[in-house]
C-alpha cells in the first residue's frame, strides 16, 4: 500500500532535516530547499534505510516562480498528510541598519511562502478532511528583543495566521490539524549562518535545545492536536510570564532581554556598513 506523504521545507539541515529523519521510516517525503546535493544525499540515505519514496524539490521559496512550483506540487498531491513550513533564517542588527534586502527576503520566506504553501495544502487537505500543517515559528513571537525586529514580526505573523486558520477549521469541525511550533535557541546551522560562534552558544546552559528535542515535542503536540507547541519548560514559563504582563512591564523585560542576549554588544556597535546580510 502506498505510504502517506509529508512535505518539508528547509529539509536540508537543522530542524527540517530532523523532521525528515523522524518521518522517513513511516512516510514518503517531499524534501524542499535550495541545496540540491544535501537533499539528494538525504533521499539516498532514507531510500536505502527505509525504502522511503523521496522526492527532491529544489526551490528558493523567496522567489515567486519557485514558490508557485512548490505550491502546485503540494496542492495536487493526493497522499499529502503533513506540510512542515520550516525554511527560515535570522538577521542581526538594528532594523534600520541591517540590510533591507535580507529583511525583505525574510518576509518573502517566513510570510509569503508560509501563506501560499498553507493555502495550497489546505485546499488539498480540507476537502479530504485529513492532514496537518506545522508552521515552524519561534519563541521570538512572544519575546521581542532589540536586534531581531523583522524576525520577531514575521514569527508573530506566523502564530496569528496559524491561530486564525485553526479557529476556522474548528468552527467547521474539520479533522485537519494546525500547529505553530515555537522553539527557543536550537543547535542547527541557523546561528552558524549568522556568524555566531558555537562556544558563545554554550554560555546559556539549559536554554539550548537539540533539533531532536524540538521535533519530538512537535510530533507529540501533533498527536495531542496542540495549537501552540513551545519546547522546553523554561521557554513555556517565559512565554506565559511575558504574555501576562501589562505592556509597560513587558517592554522593560524585553529591553533587559535584549541587553542580556549574546551578540548584543555587536548590535550596539555595528555601523550600517559592518552589518552583513546572512543570505
Ligand X SMILES: NC(=O)c1ccc[n+]([C@@H]2O[C@H](COP(=O)([O-])OP(=O)(O)OC[C@H]3O[C@@H](n4cnc5c(N)ncnc54)[C@H](OP(=O)(O)O)[C@@H]3O)[C@@H](O)[C@H]2O)c1
DSSP, collapsed to helix, strand or coil, labels residue 8 as: strand
231 interacts with ligand X by CB under 6 A: no
Q: Which is nearer to ligand X, 61 or 178 (CB)?
A: 61
Nearest to 113 by CA among 166, 74, 169, 152: 74
Query: Cβ of residue 123: shortest distance to ligand X, in angstroms?
Result: 21
- Candidates 120-128, 163-171, 183-191, 239-247: pick the segment binding ligand X (CB under 6 A): 183-191
Q: Please select the residue that binds ligand X; options are 52, 88, 91, 145, rule is CB under 6 A.
A: 88
Nearest to 113 by CA among 83, 93, 91: 83
221 interacts with ligand X by CB under 6 A: no
Give, as one character, the DSSP assignment of residue 262. Answer: T
16 interacts with ligand X by CB under 6 A: yes
DSSP, collapsed to helix, strand or coil, labels residue 62 as: coil
Q: Which residues have a Cβ under 8 Å from the Cβ of 271 and sit 6 or more positions away? A: 97
Residue holding cell 546572512?
278
162 interacts with ligand X by CB under 6 A: no
Q: In the window 191-210, what residues touch ligand X (CB under 6 A)?
A: 193
Query: Cβ of residue 130: shortest distance to ligand X, in angstroms?
Result: 25
Rounded to the nearest 5°, which phi and psi values hold at 2? -65, 145
Residues lying near ligand X in the complex (CB under 6 A) are found at 9-16, 33-35, 38, 59-62, 86-89, 109, 136, 138, 183, 185-186, 188-190, 193
Amino acid at each position: 500500500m502506498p505510504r502517506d506523504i509529508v512535505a518539508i521545507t528547509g529539509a536540508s539541515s537543522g530542524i527540517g532535516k530532523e523532521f525528515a529523519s523522524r518521518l522517513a521510516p513511516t512516510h514518503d517525503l517531499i524534501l524542499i530547499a535550495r541545496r540540491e546535493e544535501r537533499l539528494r544525499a538525504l533521499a539516498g540515505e532514507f531510500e536505502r534505510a527505509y525504502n522511503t519514496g523521496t522526492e527532491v524539490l529544489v526551490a528558493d521559496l523567496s522567489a515567486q516562480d519557485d514558490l508557485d512550483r512548490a505550491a502546485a506540487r503540494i496542492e495536487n498531491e493526493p497522499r499529502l498528510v503533513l506540510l512542515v513550513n520550516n525554511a527560515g533564517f535570522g538577521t542581526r542588527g538594528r532594523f534600520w541598519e541591517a540590510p533591507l534586502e535580507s529583511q525583505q527576503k525574510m518576509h518573502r520566506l517566513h510570510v509569503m511562502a508560509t501563506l501560499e504553501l498553507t493555502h495550497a495544502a489546505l485546499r488539498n487537505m480540507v476537502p479530504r478532511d485529513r492532514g496537518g500543517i506545522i508552521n515552524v515559528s519561534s519563541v521570538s513571537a512572544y519575546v521581542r528583543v532589540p536586534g531581531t525586529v523583522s524576525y520577531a514580526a514575521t514569527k508573530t505573523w506566523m502564530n496569528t495566521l496559524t491561530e486564525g486558520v485553526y479557529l476556522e477549521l474548528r468552527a467547521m469541525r474539520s479533522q485537519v490539524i494546525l500547529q505553530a511550533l515555537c522553539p527557543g535557541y536550537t543547535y542547527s546551522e541557523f546561528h552558524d549562518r549568522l556568524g555566531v560562534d558555537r562556544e558563545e552558544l554554550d554560555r546559556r546552559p539549559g536554554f539550548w535545545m537539540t533539533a531532536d528535542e524540538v521535533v519530538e515535542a512537535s510530533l507529540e503536540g501533533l498527536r495531542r492536536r496542540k495549537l501552540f507547541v513551545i519546547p522546553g519548560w523554561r521557554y513555556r514559563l517565559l512565554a506565559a510570564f511575558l504574555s501576562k504582563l501589562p505592556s509597560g512591564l513587558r517592554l522593560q523585560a524585553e529591553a533587559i532581554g535584549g541587553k542580556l542576549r549574546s551578540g548584543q554588544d555587536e548590535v550596539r556597535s555595528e555601523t550600517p556598513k559592518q552589518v552583513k546580510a546572512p543570505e
